[in-house]
Structure 1
Amino acid sequence: MKKKWLLPIFASFMLFSTTHIDNAEAATNADVTDTASKYLGIPYKYGGTTTSGFDCSGFTSKVFADLGIQLNRTSGSQYQQGTAVAKSDLQVGDLLFFNTSGSGISHVAIYIGDGKMIHSQTNQGVSYSNVNDPYYWGSRYVGAKRVATFDEQQQVEVKQAAIDFSVYASRAEVAGQIAKALNLDTSDTNTSFVDVKPTNANAGAIAAVAKLGIFEGDANGKFNPSSPITRAQIAKVLVLAFDLENHGEARTFSDVPQNNWAYEYVSALAANGVTTGDENGHFGLDELLKIDELKTFIHRIQP
C-alpha cells in the first residue's frame, strides 16, 4: 500500500523533515472554527480528552485530531511543536499559549480570527474569549505556534511529518476492507463526495459503503479518504456494517462512560467478542486505529 503522510506533529523526541501532502484532504479556516465550535458548552474536566469533559490541551488535541492533525498531549508539550508566530501575524488555527499558574506554559487555546479564541477554561468549559482581554488573558499571553496553515484554497502546509498510513488505517482503507469483507459490488466509482474522484483506488468501495449508510461524509460534503479514523469511530462503522447487537451482560470499559456517543457501539463490539480492551480495562476511544487492529476486528466478526 502506498504510504500517505498526513498528520503533522508527532514528536517522540525525533525531528522529521517537512513532507508535502499530495492530494490530502486539507482543512479551511471555516473547518477549524466549525470543528472547534461544535464542542461549545462541553464542561471543563481536569485531564479530560473526550466529550464528557476537556481540559485545555485535551480540547485542542481533539479539535486537531478531528482535522487529521495529531498534537502532543499537554499545553507545555504542544508549545514545543510548530513554528513561533508573532501576535500581530496570527492566523486561524494558530495555537495560543498562556501562563496562568505563574510557572510557565499552563494553558492553550485556538485562534479563530478577529482577536477571538476558543478554549476549554476552568469555569466555563469550551467557550470563546478575547485574546487581548485586559482583565485576564491579555496579561497572561506567552506566545503562539503554527503547526499547520489553513486557508480557503483547501491547502495545508505541514510543518512536521508523522503518521505512516501503512501502519494506521485511513478512512479509505477502512472502506476498502469493509467492502471486501461484505463482498460488496464496487464497480460504481462515482460518489457524492467532493473529495473522492472516480480515479481514487478506493472510490468503488467508498461508494458502496456510503450507499449502505455505513459511512457518512462531513458537513462540507467530504469523505476525507486519507484521514485517520479513531477506535470510537470504527466501533460505529463495524456495528453498522455487520449489524451487531448487544446481548447478555454489557461489558464496560473505564474510558467509555455511558454518556459518550460511542458507548452503545463499543458495548456491541465487546458483546460480540470483537474487542476486549487492554490490560488496564481501556478501550481507547480517541486512539487512532491501526490496520492490523482493523483486520483483527473484521476477522473476529466473520464466521
Structure 2
Amino acid sequence: MRKRWLLPIFASFMIITGIGANDAEAATISDITNTAKDYIGAPYKFGGTDINTGVDCSSYTQFVFSKLGISLDRTSRAQYQQGSTVSKNNLEAGDLVFFNTSGSGISHVGIYIGDGNFISATPSSGVRIDKLEDPYYWGSRYLGAKRVANFTTTTKGEVKDAGIDFSVYASRGEVALQLSKALALDTSDTNSPFLDLKSSSNYAGAATALEKQGIFSGDEKRKFNAGSPITRGQLAKVLVVAFDLKKQGNAEMFSDVTTANWEYDYVSILSSNKITLGKGDGTFGVNDKVTLKQLELFLDRLTK
C-alpha cells in the first residue's frame, strides 16, 4: 500500500494563534487523528522538518496541526507553553502529551488519539503509536498535557449557499470534478491544500490536482469554497488557464464586458476560440452563475 506521507505537500495554511485553546474551524476529532495517522512510518531525523526525509517529534506535531490550520511553535518545550493544561484523566483526542526522555525536563511531544494511545515521531521507529501508560518506557516519563485546540465530535458536511439550486447551477466543487475529468488529471492525492476541504471530501482529489496545475488557488483564506457557485466570468478565467488558450483572431464584443473588466481578456480569448457565443443578446453574462448545462457545453467544445 502506498504510504500517504510520501505524497508531496503543496500548501500554505491560514494560521490560528492564541494562548488558550483554539476552536479549530470545521476540524473534528477524526480530522486530527486521521491526519496524524496518515504519516505513520514517516522517518525520524533529529532537527528534521521534512515529513518525507525525516522529522523530529515537535516538527511532526507542528506539521500535523498545520494541516488543520493551527500554528504550533517549533520545539517541544515551546509547545508546552501553548494552550491550556489538561489532566491525564481529562485527555481528549488532539491534546498534546509531553515526556521527559532526556532527564532534563520536556524533551518529547506526541498527539493523544484516544483509548490511552498517542502518536509521535520516535528516534527508534519514526512516526508510530504507543501506549501512554506503557510500563516499560513512556508511562514513567509522562510529564503533562496541553490542549491547543478544541475539536468537534461530529463531521460537518459540505456547506452550500442557501437558495441556490445546484441541480441547475454548477458549484465550484462540481466544476473541479468535471474539469479534472476533462483534463484527465490524476486525482488520487486527496491531501488537500485547502483549509475547508478534508481528505474525505468528494472534491478533495480534483481540487488538489487543479491546485497543482495552478488552475485553482482558493480565496485569501486558502479556502476552496466547493459549495459556492461560480460566475461565467470566473469560469472564463479557469478555462483559459486550464486549457492554455491563446487568442485566435477576432473576438465577439459583449456590452457587459469592457476593457475595465478584469475578465475582459479571458472572455475575449474564449470568444476568439469559438468556445462562447455569449447569451445571444449582445451580452456575455459575466456575473451570471454558470449552469450545469453551460459547463457541459463549454467542456464539450474544448475537448472536441
How does the TM-score come out when normalised to structure 2? 0.52
1:88 maps to: 89
2:215 counterpart SS class = helix
2:50 maps to: 50
> How far apart are the structure 2 equivalents of 1:110 and 1:87?
13
Aligned-pair CA distance for 1:198 = 2.8
Distance change in 2, residues 1:223/1:91 (3 Å): farther
**Structure 2: which amino acid aligns with 1:221?**
S
Residue 211 (structure 1) aligned with residue 212 (structure 2)? no
Would you say the 8 A contact 1:120–1:127 is kept in 2?
Answer: yes
Distance change in 2, residues 1:20/1:111 (3 Å): closer
> How far apart are the structure 2 equivalents of 1:82 and 1:148?
7
> How far apart are the structure 2 equivalents of 1:197 and 1:150?
22
Q: Which has the larger radius of gyration?
A: 2
1:239 maps to: 213
> How far apart are the structure 2 equivalents of 1:60 and 1:134?
24
Residue 38 (structure 1) aligned with residue 38 (structure 2)? yes
Distance change in 2, residues 1:54/1:200 (3 Å): farther
Structure 2 residue runs of 5 or longer lacking an equivalent are: 1-12, 165-169, 191-196, 217-304
Task: Give matches, 1:1-303, under 5 Å.
Answer: 7-9=15-17, 24=25, 26-52=26-52, 53-154=54-155, 194-199=157-162, 204-213=171-180, 217-221=197-201, 237-239=211-213, 241=215
Distance change in 2, residues 1:95/1:223 (3 Å): farther
> How far apart are the structure 1 equivalents of 2:131 and 2:108?
14
**1:230-284, Cα deviation, whole Å (9 max, x unpaired):** xxx79x7253539xxxxxxxxxxxxxxxxxxxxxxxxxxxxxxxxxxxxxxxxxx
Aligned-pair CA distance for 1:206 = 4.9
**1:28-51, Cα deviation, whole Å (9 max, x unpaired):** 222222111110111101112222
1:237 counterpart SS class = helix
Distance change in 2, residues 1:221/1:147 (3 Å): same
Structure 1 residue runs of 5 or longer lacking an equivalent are: 156-193, 225-232, 243-303
**Structure 2: which amino acid aligns with 1:46?**
F
**Structure 2: which amino acid aligns with 1:101?**
S
Would you say the 8 A contact 2:22–2:148 is kept in 1?
Answer: no
Would you say the 8 A contact 2:61–2:109 is kept in 1?
Answer: yes
Would you say the 8 A contact 2:23–2:150 is kept in 1?
Answer: no
**Structure 1: which amino acid aligns with 2:158?**
D
> How far apart are the structure 2 equivalents of 1:139 and 1:209?
51
Aligned-pair CA distance for 1:134 = 1.2
1:72 counterpart SS class = coil
1:212 counterpart SS class = helix
**Structure 2: which amino acid aligns with 1:68?**
G
> How far apart are the structure 1 equivalents of 2:91 and 2:129?
16
Would you say the 8 A contact 2:21–2:148 is kept in 1?
Answer: no
Task: Give the total of aligned pairs.
Answer: 183
Aligned-pair CA distance for 1:109 = 0.4
**Structure 2: which amino acid aligns with 1:8?**
I
**1:8-44, Cα deviation, whole Å (9 max, x unpaired):** 336xxxx6x88877xx4x2222222211111011110
**1:153-195, Cα deviation, whole Å (9 max, x unpaired):** 348xxxxxxxxxxxxxxxxxxxxxxxxxxxxxxxxxxxxxx42
**Structure 2: which amino acid aligns with 1:142?**
L
**1:42-66, Cα deviation, whole Å (9 max, x unpaired):** 1101112222211001110111111
**Structure 1: which amino acid aligns with 2:140?**
S
Would you say the 8 A contact 1:93–1:150 is kept in 2?
Answer: yes
Would you say the 8 A contact 2:176–2:203 is kept in 1?
Answer: no
Aligned-pair CA distance for 1:197 = 0.9
> How far apart are the structure 1 equivalents of 2:21 and 2:58?
24
How does the TM-score come out when normalised to structure 1? 0.52
CA RMSD between the two structures = 3.4
Residue identity (%):
45
**1:138-161, Cα deviation, whole Å (9 max, x unpaired):** 111110000112232348xxxxxx
Would you say the 8 A contact 1:98–1:137 is kept in 2?
Answer: yes
